[in-house]
Amino acid sequence: MHEVIGVLGAGSWGTALAVHSARAGRRVRLWCRREELARELVAEGANHRYLPDVALPAEVEPTAEIGQLAGCATVLVVVPSHGFREVVRRFLATLDSVDGPTLVSSTKGVDSETLERMSQVTAAEAERAGRQVDFAVISGPTFAAELAAGVPSAAVVASAKPGVARRLQESMSTDSFRLYRSDDVVGVELGGAAKNVIAIAAGVATGLGLGHNTLAALITRGLHEMVRLGVASGGQAQTFSGLAGLGDLVLTCTGGLSRNRRTGIELAAGKSLEEIQGATSMVAEGIRNSASITRLAGRLGIELPITEQMMGIIAGDTSPQEAIHALMTRALKAEAEL
């Protein structure tokens, strides 16, 4: 019998991972937060709201009953960061035994209230529920539509337990999706969260028509901010030169499918945050993360100039032109200075 894995979250990335897992030879239970969406997926055989033009394999079973995933040994959690805690809490409450599954986060964000990474949220909720779970995180330069279409892609799976990372690497890798393993959970999580804010900045620069010089400088200095945040949080600097750092940053800052980059372009065009968010059901994680990561940096006593300027633009306190000027006129320093 094929292994059954669970996917919590039927947005674009959750659906793409479900499609990939089915093609890799597994049955998948795909949990939808809304009953209406689950019925649509069953009736139409596709997720037209979030991943158009991709047929759901027969092995993908949409459901709105979260308890249907309780028997899965591996459960991917693919929900926005602001909903991660609630979903994990609900899921853990459905488990009958103390020994729970491996929970694999594919959420790129930081909890907006506690500033905890998703690994920390999971640990807290598991302790609260009296459950033992293994944790891993998957992150990297991966657009949902391209993974679902079978375009060759690569990402990183990280866990504090080497055996867990290796098992997931071997079970989820295919000839179109290559996973590298890591033990740097902190670095992989913060790389995915911090790059979203830099991608908004890249969109602003693109929207202002500032050219390739500006974009290259922005990506490079944005990476520097990511390293500074990661190292201060206990992550490994080398992680940020890999797929979960530089790779994801380049994709999100330059790719036309990037929601965060598109948000920046629309901010540069003078649209309000309310207008941008009201026009789509997709979540641009960088909007929330700009405030969360700025607060986290303050707690750690570090400076993140690009992130701080993006927070000002998103809050409506700073114009895009003022933000660029502020960044270009900061005190001069050595490039390697952290």
**Per-domain residue ranges of the chain:** 4-183, 186-328
Residue 281 in this model has a pLDDT that exceeds 80: no
Residue 2 in this model has a pLDDT that exceeds 80: no
Residue 203 in this model has a pLDDT that exceeds 60: yes
Which one has a higher pLDDT value, 98 or 38? Answer: 38
Pairing of strands 60-63, 27-31: parallel
Note the pLDDT of residue 279: 61
Q: For residues 47 and 181, give the distance between their C-alpha atoms in angstroms, rounded to a whole number.
A: 30
Radius of gyration of the chain (CA): 19
Reported as a single tens digit per residue, the pLDDT across 147-185 is 999 999 999 999 999 999 999 999 999 999 999 999 999
Which one has a higher pLDDT value, 284 or 40? Answer: 40
Reported as a single tens digit per residue, the pLDDT across 20-58 is 999 999 999 999 999 999 999 999 999 999 999 899 999
> Where does 4-183 sit in CATH, by number?
3.40.50.720
Note the pLDDT of residue 48: 95
Note the pLDDT of residue 231: 98
Note the pLDDT of residue 22: 97
- The pLDDT mean for the chain works out to 94
- 195 given a catalytic annotation: yes
Note the pLDDT of residue 3: 85
The superfamily CATH assigns to domain 186-328 is N-(1-d-carboxylethyl)-l-norvaline Dehydrogenase; domain 2 (1.10.1040.10)
Q: Do residues 28 and 4 lie in contact, with contact meaning Cβ atoms separated by under 8 Å?
A: yes
Note the pLDDT of residue 283: 55
Q: How confident is the model at residue 285 (pLDDT cuts 50, 70, 90)?
A: confident
Q: Do residues 267 and 200 lie in contact, with contact meaning Cβ atoms separated by under 8 Å?
A: yes
Q: Annotated catalytic residue: which of 161, 195, 271, 333?
A: 195
Note the pLDDT of residue 19: 98
Q: How confident is the model at residue 1 (pLDDT cuts 50, 70, 90)?
A: very low
Tokens of 282: 């997709």
Weakest-pLDDT range from 115-124, 221-230, 232-241, 313-322: 313-322
Which one has a higher pLDDT value, 124 or 272? Answer: 124
Note the pLDDT of residue 108: 94
Partner residues linked to 51 by β-bridges: 47
Note the pLDDT of residue 338: 67
SS3 for 127-148 is: HHHCCEEEEEEEECCCCHHHHH
Q: How confident is the model at residue 276 (pLDDT cuts 50, 70, 90)?
A: confident
Sequence-separated (6 or more) residues with CB below 8 Å from residue 202: 215, 218, 219, 222, 252, 253, 254, 261, 264
